[in-house]
Amino acid sequence: MRSTSWGACNDRAITLINAGKYESALAECDKAIALNSNQAMAYSLKALAYERLKKFKEEIEECNKAIVIEPKNFKFYLSRATAYRELGQYQSALQDCNSALNLVFQKSLPYIHRGYIYTCLNHPQNAIADYTAALNIDPSSSQAYSLRADSYGKKGHYQKQIDDLTSAIKISPTDSTLYEQRGYAYLLLKKPLEATRDYTIAIQIHPESTYPHLLRADVYKELGQYQKQIADLSFVIDIDPQNTTLYGKRGYAYFQLGKFQKAIDDCTTSTRLDPASLDAYSTAALAYETLGLYSKAIEQRTKILKLKKTNSFDWSDRAKDYELLRIFDLAQADRRRAVELASPCELATMQLCSPLIDVKKLAGADSVEWYQYQFDKQLKGVSTVVPFHFDDEGHICVPAQINSRHLELMIDTGCSHTELWKQTMPGIAKVNNDQLRGTKANGEEYFFGFFRARDLKLGNLVLPNVAMAVDDGLVRHKTLSGFLGGNILENFVVTVDYLKRQTIIATSFKHDRSKELVTVPMLLRNHCPYCTVKLDGELEVLALLDTGCPSSMSPESLLQSILPKKLNYKHHVLGPWLGCLSTERVELKSLRIGAGNLKSPIFEVFPAVEAPTMASEIVLGNDFLSRFKTVTFDYPRRQVTFEFNKQEEPGWASSK
**How is 214-242 classified by DSSP, letter by letter?**
HHHHHHHHHTT-HHHHHHHHHHHHHH-TT
Of residues 395, 410, 387, the one with CA closest to residue 460: 387
Tell me the backbone φ, ψ of residue 264, rounded to 5 degrees: -65, -40
* Alpha-helical segments (H) within 368-423: 368-376
Task: Quote the Cα angle for 17-20-21, to 5°.
Answer: 75
Beta bridge partners of 452: 467
- Secondary structure of residue 343 in the 3-state scheme: coil
Identify the CATH number of the domain defined by range 383-506. 2.40.70.10
Q: Report the run of H or E that residue 29 belongs to, with start and end.
A: helix 22-35
C-alpha span between 193 and 605 (Å, rounded): 19
Could you tell me the fold of the domain covering 4-219?
A: 1.25.40
Sign, CA dihedral 254-256-259-262, equals positive
Does this chain's domain 383-506 share its CATH topology with 517-654? yes
Is there a contact between 189 and 158 (Cβ–Cβ < 8 Å)? yes
User: Within the chain, which residues score under 70 in pLDDT?
Assistant: 1-4, 377-382, 473-479, 509-515, 646-656
Beta bridge partners of 553: 604, 619
Is there a contact between 164 and 152 (Cβ–Cβ < 8 Å)? yes
C-alpha span between 51 and 378 (Å, rounded): 73
Give the gyration radius of the chain's Cα atoms. Answer: 33
Which pairing describes strands 396-402 and 445-458: parallel, antiparallel, or unpaired?
A: antiparallel
C-alpha span between 571 and 583 (Å, rounded): 5
Which CATH code, of 3.30.470.30, 1.25.40.10, 3.30.365.10, 3.10.580.10, is assigned to 250-379?
A: 1.25.40.10
* Alpha-helical segments (H) within 274-389: 278-290, 294-307, 312-324, 328-341, 344-353, 359-363, 368-376
What per-residue confidence (pLDDT) applies to 380?
60
C-alpha span between 20 and 652 (Å, rounded): 71
- Secondary structure of residue 134 in the 3-state scheme: helix
Is there a contact between 532 and 584 (Cβ–Cβ < 8 Å)? no
C-alpha span between 617 and 523 (Å, rounded): 13
Is there a contact between 145 and 109 (Cβ–Cβ < 8 Å)? no
Of residues 594, 581, 601, the one with CA closest to residue 651: 601
Of residues 362, 359, 491, the one with CA closest to residue 418: 491
Q: Is 490 exposed, middle or buried (0-12, 13-18, 19+ CB in 10 A)?
A: buried
What per-residue confidence (pLDDT) applies to 645?
73
Is there a contact between 148 and 164 (Cβ–Cβ < 8 Å)? yes
C-alpha span between 532 and 537 (Å, rounded): 13
Of residues 123, 59, 107, 106, the one with CA closest to residue 86: 59
Q: Report the run of H or E that residue 641 belongs to, with start and end.
A: strand 639-644
Residues contacting 414, CB < 8 A, separation 6+: 486, 528, 544, 545, 546, 547, 548, 549, 619
- Secondary structure of residue 57 in the 3-state scheme: helix
Q: How far is CA 162 from CA 123, 146, 159, 167, 173, in A?
A: 20, 10, 5, 9, 15
Beta bridge partners of 402: 405, 456
Q: How far is CA 415 from CA 21, 353, 454, in A?
A: 64, 12, 22
Please say whether the structural domain 517-654 has been given the CATH code 3.40.50.970: no
Residue 46, CB-side half-sphere exposure with 13 Å CA sphere: 25
Q: Is 355 exposed, middle or buried (0-12, 13-18, 19+ CB in 10 A)?
A: buried
Residues contacting 401, CB < 8 A, separation 6+: 407, 455, 456, 457
Residues contacting 272, CB < 8 A, separation 6+: none
- Encode pLDDT of 112-148 as tens digits: 999 999 999 999 999 999 999 999 999 999 999 999 9
DSSP 8-class letter at 432: P
What per-residue confidence (pLDDT) applies to 517?
84
Of residues 209, 207, 132, 142, the one with CA closest to residue 173: 142
Q: Report the run of H or E that residue 310 belongs to, with start and end.
A: none
Other CB atoms within a 10 A radius of the CB of residue 133 amount to 18
Q: What are the sequence ranges of the domains in the chain?
A: 4-219, 250-379, 383-506, 517-654
Of residues 441, 438, 439, the one with CA closest to residue 610: 441
- Secondary structure of residue 548 in the 3-state scheme: coil
